[in-house]
Amino acid sequence: MDAVIIAAGYGSRLASLSPSKPLTPVCGIPLIEIGIRQAAAAGVSRVVVVTGHRAEAVEAFLAELASRVAVDIESVRVADWSKPNGYSVMAGADACEGDYLLMMADHMFDSAILAGLRKVGSENRDVTLAIDRRTDSPLVDPDDATWVKLDAVGYIKAIGKTIPEWDAVDCGAFLATPRLAEAIAAAIASGKAGSLSDGMQWLADQGRAATYDIKGAWWMDVDDPRAHTLAEELAPRHLTAAFAAT
C-alpha cells in the first residue's frame, strides 16, 4: 500500500525552531523521516510526500533518505502551498492508485496505528479516520485540535476545529480511498475553502466517513515549541521503528 504524507505548509508555530516543519528534528531525526520510517514499519511500500514551502530543501533530504530506508519515496510539489491542505491531499492522491494511508508530516504515530488502519477498509466507507477518545490528554492542544462528533454507529457526524460538541480528537492519520479527493473537489465546487476537513465533512454528510479507535496507542502533533519539547522526551520511548533504525 502507498502512503501520502502532507508536508507542504509553512508551519509558522514551529518557525522559531526550524525554517521547515517537515525537517524539524526530534532527537536529531527530522519529522518527515520519522513518519516515513513508521509507515514502512506498518507495511507501506511507497510513500508520496507532498511538498510546498521550502520544497527544494525537503525534496533534497528525501532524495538522500531514499538510500537509507526500505521504502520507495516520491515527491509531488503542490502548485500553491498557501492554499488549504485539501489541495495537497488531491495532489498526493493523483500519484496513487487505489487506497492509501494519509498522514500529516507534523504528526507522529505508533506504527500500530498505521498498521491497524491498513486493515479496516470496506465497501461501506470512503475514508476512515484514526481517532482518540482521550480528548483531555495533555498531548492534545485544545486550541489547535480537530474535533470529531460521532453518530450512533461510530461514523463521523461532524468534524472541525470549531464544532460545538465532540466525542474524540482527529489523530491526523487516515485510510483514504479515491473518493476523498473527489469529495474535497466537490466541497470546493460548492464554495468551501478546500481543507481536508471540508472533504471529510462532505463524506460524513453522506454517511461514508468511518473511524478507527486507536485504543490507547501513542501519537502526537508536533505543532509548536511546547509540543516539540514533549516530543523529544516521549518519542524515543514509543516510536521504536524510527529510532532503532538510525
Given a cut of 70, the residues of the chain with pLDDT beneath it are: 245-246
The dihedral of CA 61, 67, 71, 73: what is its sign? positive
DSSP state of 143: T
pTM above 0.75, yes or no: yes
- Answer for the pair 26, 227: CB distance below 8 angstroms, yes or no: no
Q: What's the confidence (pLDDT) of residue 85? A: 97
pLDDT tens digits, residue range 59-69? 999 999 999 99
In residues, how long is the chain?
246
Residue 236 — left, alpha, or beta (φ > 0 → left; ψ -120 to 50 → alpha)? alpha
Q: Write down the pLDDT at residue 246.
A: 60
Residue 205 identity:
D
List, for residues 151-184, the tens digit of each pLDDT value.
Answer: 999 999 999 999 999 999 999 999 999 999 999 9
Give the per-residue pLDDT at 11. Answer: 87
Question: Collapsing DSSP states into helix, strand and coil, what is residue 65?
Answer: helix
The domains located in the chain, with CATH, are: 2-244 (3.90.550.10)
pLDDT at residue number 188: 98
